[in-house]
């Protein structure tokens, strides 16, 4: 993977290149960026640049023996560690290396949910176990085979529990020419003992224009469609790519149908609709929640008198203007908070029927009975 194939992040790319040109490569670095920012892709491109036999001032060559192996993720001095679902206590990341290579090549902006799909273990808990930590220590105890550096890319160190402390010594005092690249999304969930031993590389989310231009140039979207997806994805390219495979208009129709049922307090219809939502699958459920959050956010803008900041197609804008006639700004904000919590719980494998029925009943209280949750109580609006 080359820097040129990664969307945006020009400043980060140049900073990484400069560390190699100026011989300032830190042996343990933490690439910290939100999902869809390209942090994993940047780590792989950086590793390829470090190992390239004919690197330029701007990128790896892409054609030398080292680069060709990196493009297939089969270089003998490139190692990966990542969360997986151990069937046996001795399982390590190597047990899933073929799935990993396939996932990265097809999805450079990989998310944990996409990775779960490759493991056929959607509802199981991922982690990096003690056997994997011992395997890392063993692999990195050898000298490099072909390149100047032996490189380990550890994706999502948040999934290292206390067994991750087994890696402290090798991170702090590695073999010569050993490079650790940790790729994380949540700094607060990383062991402090590991965090303190790494150099931080902060990677920002992409801006809307970068996502829009990528969708236009690489996925042949119209400017209008690309702008809508870029806005809804909020700088998350992983989410933007997922939206390409889903019909946003169907989310709009589903979401409005749901709100109307809640407003009318149609209990039996709500139960039937919840059954439909529960069968969508987790990714579609998350996308549905994201759409709802974005739509209600636009309603909040209209209610606050900031219609000039609203980004909605004509059809959706028309329904939003009708929707705000039956809700106040506090009501819209309360619904948005409910949807954000629901999205959080979907990500963490909550029972979808129970979750969506509970959210529906709370929306009924807000829309039908004009009561807004305050702590554990509902206060009339």
What average pLDDT does the segment 372-380 reach? 59
With beta carbons less than 8 A apart as the criterion, state whether 54 and 25 touch.
no
Name the least confident of 104-108, 124-128, 181-185: 124-128
Q: How far apart are CA 32 and CA 24, in angstroms?
A: 19
What pLDDT was estimated at residue 101? Answer: 94
Question: What tens digit of pLDDT does each residue of 331-361 get?
Answer: 999 999 999 999 989 888 889 999 999 999 9
In Å, what is the CA distance from 323 to each residue of 243, 303, 314?
Answer: 24, 10, 14
Question: What tens digit of pLDDT does each residue of 257-300 get?
Answer: 999 999 999 999 999 999 999 988 777 888 889 889 988 998 99
What pLDDT was estimated at residue 13? Answer: 94
The backbone torsions φ and ψ at residue 22, rounded to the nearest 5 degrees and listed phi first, read -95, 10
pLDDT at 157 over 60: yes
What average pLDDT does the segment 59-72 reach? 93
What pLDDT was estimated at residue 151? Answer: 93
What average pLDDT does the segment 301-309 reach? 86
Got the DSSP string for 298-329?
HHHHHHTT-GGG----HHHHHHHHHHGGG--H
What pLDDT was estimated at residue 189? Answer: 86
What pLDDT was estimated at residue 123? Answer: 54
Q: Tokens representing 154?
A: 């550890």
pLDDT at 377 over 70: no
- The structural domains of the chain, ordered by start, are 3-205 (3.40.50.300), 246-380 (1.20.272)
Threshold 0.85, pTM exceeds: no
Question: What tens digit of pLDDT does each residue of 221-257 get?
Answer: 888 778 878 877 778 899 888 877 665 557 788 898 9
pLDDT at 376 over 60: no
Question: If 0-12 CB within 10 Å is exposed, 13-18 middle and 19+ buried, where does residue 329 land?
Answer: middle
Name the least confident of 86-100, 177-191, 312-326, 334-348: 312-326
b/e per residue 20-47 (b: at least 16 CB within 10 A)? eeeeebebbbbbbbbbbbbbbbbbbbbb
Q: Tokens representing 283?
A: 């990714």
């Amino acid at each position: 993977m080359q820097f040129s194939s990664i969307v945006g992040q020009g400043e980060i790319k140049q900073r990484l290149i400069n560390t190699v040109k100026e011989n300032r490569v830190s042996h343990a670095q933490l690439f910290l960026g939100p999902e869809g920012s390209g942090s994993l892709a940047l780590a792989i491109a950086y590793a390829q640049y470090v190992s390239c036999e004919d690197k330029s001032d701007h990128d790896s060559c892409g054609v030398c023996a080292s680069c060709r192996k990196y493009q297939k993720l089969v270089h003998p001095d490139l190692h990966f560690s990542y969360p997986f679902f151990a069937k046996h206590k001795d399982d390590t990341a190597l047990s899933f290396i073929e799935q990993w290579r396939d996932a990265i090549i097809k999805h450079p902006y990989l998310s944990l949910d996409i990775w779960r799909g490759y493991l056929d273990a959607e509802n199981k808990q991922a982690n990096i176990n003690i056997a994997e930590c011992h395997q890392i220590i063993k692999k990195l105890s050898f000298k490099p085979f072909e390149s100047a550096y032996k490189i380990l890319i550890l994706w999502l160190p948040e999934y290292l529990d206390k067994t991750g402390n087994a890696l402290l010594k090798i991170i702090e005092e590695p073999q010569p020419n050993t490079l650790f690249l940790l790729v994380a999304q949540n700094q607060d969930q990383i062991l402090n003992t590991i965090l303190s031993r790494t150099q931080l590389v902060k990677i920002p989310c992409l801006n809307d224009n970068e996502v829009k231009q990528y969708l236009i140039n690489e996925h042949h979207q119209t400017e209008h469609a690309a702008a809508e997806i870029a806005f809804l994805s909020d700088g998350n390219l992983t989410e933007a790519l997922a939206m390409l495979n889903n019909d946003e208009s169907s989310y709009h129709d589903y979401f409005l149908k749901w709100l109307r049922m809640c407003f009318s307090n149609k209990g039996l219809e709500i139960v039937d609709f919840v059954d439909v939502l529960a069968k969508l699958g987790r990714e579609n459920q998350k996308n549905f929640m994201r759409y709802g959050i974005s739509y209600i956010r636009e309603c909040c803008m209209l209610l606050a008198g900031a219609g000039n900041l609203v980004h909605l197609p004509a059809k959706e804008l028309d329904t939003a203007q009708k929707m705000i006639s039956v809700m106040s700004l506090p009501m819209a904000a309360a619904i948005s908070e409910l949807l954000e919590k629901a999205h959080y719980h979907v990500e963490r494998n909550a029972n979808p029927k129970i979750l969506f029925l509970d959210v529906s009943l709370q929306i009924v209280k807000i829309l039908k009975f004009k009561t807004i949750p305050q702590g554990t109580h509902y206060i009339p609006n």
